[in-house]
Amino acid sequence: MKILVLAVIVMSLSIRGSSQMLNKVVPTADDKRNGVVLKFGYSATDSHGVIWLILKKDSSYFYSLNTAGLYKVSEGKWSIYKDVLTLESTLQMDNIPAKISYDQSGTFADSFNVAIVKNIKNELLTDAFVLINSDSIKCLPMIGDCNGSFERINKVKILFENGMSSKWMMVKEGAGKIQLTVLTDTFIGNYHVMHHQKFKVSRDRLIYQ
């Protein structure tokens, strides 16, 4: 298992290191019908790694990185100024949209008062943590356990293993059971955050900056 994980890490680093340039690809007829204006890609010589960056005329983009053991996606808005392309993903490290409700029909572990986090499709996100009152109290509703204690819940925040999180949400006084819902069906574990990510536009390719 350790060997497999190490191999994935090495492959990922190899692809990222050797793919500092994305080559321009001619959009297909279907691409153009779907609003694609620019398309860039990279494929490792061993075919174990592929990167795509698709830019649409409505200023939206889609990015994907796919290797034998790693898959990342990103979407958001793009802009070009003086031959510099800038990408800004819809989701950032601390802005996952979420809401709090006091619905007791959620999935609760034993007597724990915070239900397993769900997404907008009502799918359970069993790997989602919930921070209670402060960053130091981390709970996993899936098993109803926390690494610290608290007298009451004043505020909560959803946290994923990759560090992405929601904003803090205040809990109404006297609340009993709490349900947290992520307002997207995007798989957060595979999401690649782009924050002012810049590329130099150079003729038929993009160069990471």
What's the pTM? 0.83
Asked if 87 and 101 sit in the same domain, the reply is: no
Asked if 108 and 178 sit in the same domain, the reply is: yes
Count of domains forming the chain = 2
Q: Which residues contact 156 (CB under 8 A, 6 or more apart)?
A: 100, 114, 130, 131, 132, 168, 169, 171, 178, 180
Asked if 114 and 81 sit in the same domain, the reply is: no
Asked if 173 and 119 sit in the same domain, the reply is: yes
* Domain region containing 162: 95-188
Asked if 38 and 51 sit in the same domain, the reply is: yes
Q: How many helices (H) and strands (E) does the chain have?
A: 2, 16
Instruction: List the chain pLDDT tens, one digit each, 209 residues.
Output: 433 333 333 334 333 444 478 999 999 999 999 999 999 999 876 656 899 999 999 999 999 999 877 899 999 999 999 999 999 999 999 999 999 999 888 999 988 999 999 999 999 999 999 999 999 999 999 999 999 999 999 999 999 999 999 999 999 998 889 999 999 999 999 999 999 999 999 888 999 88
Asked if 101 and 76 sit in the same domain, the reply is: no
Asked if 182 and 101 sit in the same domain, the reply is: yes
Asked if 121 and 184 sit in the same domain, the reply is: yes
Asked if 152 and 198 sit in the same domain, the reply is: no
